Amino acid sequence: MSIGILGKKIGMTQIFDQQGFAIPATLLKVGPCTVTQIKQTKEHTKIQIGYEYIQPNKLNKPIVGHFKNNNLPCFKYLKEYRSNAWKELSIGQIINISQLNKNDYISISGISIGKGFSGYQKRHNFHRGPMSHGSKNHRQPGSIGAGTTPGRVFPGKKMAGRMGNKKVNIKNISILNIDIQHNFLLIKGSVPGKKGNIIYIHQK
């Protein structure tokens, strides 16, 4: 079954395999999530899940009414994803990490750490200019386009600007361990975002 679930990033660590090699790992606290809505169309079906309980007075009235109509508690985070396995789900059903298959890969998406306004070298890995005394181009961008023709800078030119704070999706991540009792998931490698960042996990 295609499953989508929300969680939080706890932090990074490392484990050692039987050969003694260090494997970078990330610890995640995943779920449990609740199915809050199932929308069917001719093309596909959308499943909405809720994560982390919250008091109703901290939400606006339309959102509170959405939960009240389905006799559900209020959730702080909502996520919608497409799934063809809607017949196996029902509104109010609990989804946890026990439904993840340890032998299959997962995809994780989240918001990367924001680095603020960054220059060319840091943002796009540009080479710097000569550092000798006569050089006047140490960390400058250089030419950004031609002259009379076309007489403008093309859109998408790699220049200085905001770095990070974007949605990043990492595919084909292997699962190292699943702790169903404490809702902990240990995966190989890193995931986007800082500690406590909300991440979305999907497994086909």
Residue 16: other Cβ atoms inside 10 A:
9
154 and 175 inside one domain: no
Sequential pLDDT tens for the chain (204 residues): 678 899 999 999 999 988 989 999 999 998 788 888 888 877 788 888 899 888 988 888 988 898 888 888 888 899 888 877 667 778 888 888 888 888 889 999 999 999 999 999 999 999 999 999 999 889 888 888 888 988 999 999 999 999 999 999 999 999 888 888 888 999 999 999 999 999 999 888
81 and 51 inside one domain: yes
Measured distance CA(65)–CA(82) in Å, rounded: 23
61 and 155 inside one domain: no
Report the number of distinct structural domains present in the chain: 2
41 and 100 inside one domain: yes
Residue 86, pLDDT score? 67
CATH number of the domain within which 50 lies: 2.40.30.10
109 and 120 inside one domain: no
Helix (H) or strand (E) holding 120: helix 120-124
Measured distance CA(32)–CA(49) in Å, rounded: 10
- The answer to whether 148 touches 169, Cβ cutoff 8 Å, is no
* Residue 67 lies in domain: 3-115+167-203
pTM to 2 decimal places: 0.79
177 and 154 inside one domain: no
56 and 109 inside one domain: yes
Residue 12: other Cβ atoms inside 10 A:
13
Tokens of 37: 């809505």
182 and 156 inside one domain: no
Measured distance CA(67)–CA(60) in Å, rounded: 11
Residue 24, pLDDT score? 93
144 and 173 inside one domain: no
31 and 102 inside one domain: yes
176 and 157 inside one domain: no
34 and 92 inside one domain: yes
